[in-house]
Amino acid sequence: MEYVKASEVHLGIPVDDVEGSIDWYVNVLGCELVWKMGIAQLKLPSGQKIGIFKPEEDESSIWYVGDYKSHPHFSIQFFTTDIKRLRDELIVSGVQVREIERGGGGDDMMMFFDPNGNRFWAIEDLNPNQR
């Protein structure tokens, strides 16, 4: 039996305002805009790509996410080698951030939010080449 493995994951993040979110992801997180056509694809400095889209009400749509603001059903984690510096830079950019805490794996981590209320985690990885 043939087994086809996934070669890449594409993460889609629901947003209220695609244009405003493009600006935030580019200017605050350092992403590069790859393309936009109602939705947008952005590239992180690591080369990984994320998509942003405006959710739809139709449950059969690929862009349906339900009540994601009250009940987020995803965990998106960004890795950094300097979480304190990242936190300071996010605060300067007006981003809502929580305090840095020690995670269960022993790494420093913090929660932060995009302008749409999506919550993200930043995790300090002092050895990124070993991941």
On the question of pLDDT at 90 being above 90, the answer is yes
The answer to which of 2-6, 23-27, 51-55, 81-85 has the lowest mean pLDDT is 2-6
Mean pLDDT across 91-109: 89
Q: What is the pLDDT of residue 9?
A: 66
Phi, psi of 27 (to 5 degrees): -80, -30
Q: Can you tell me the mean pLDDT for 85-99?
A: 95
Count Cα neighbours of 96 within 13 Å in the Cβ-side half-sphere: 8
Task: Please give the pLDDT value at position 129.
Answer: 65
| pLDDT of the residue at 4 | 60
Q: What percent of the chain has pLDDT over 90?
A: 46
Report phi then psi at 8, rounded to 5: -160, 150
pLDDT surpasses 80 at 74: no
The answer to whether the CB of 121 falls within 8 A of the CB of 110 is: yes
Query: Highest-confidence range of 25-34, 98-107, 115-124, by mean pLDDT?
Result: 25-34
Q: In the prediction, which pLDDT does 17 show?
A: 94
The identity of residue 115, as a single letter, is: P
Q: Which residue, 63, 61, 19, is CA-closest to 42? A: 19
Q: How many CB atoms lie within 10 A of CB 40?
A: 21
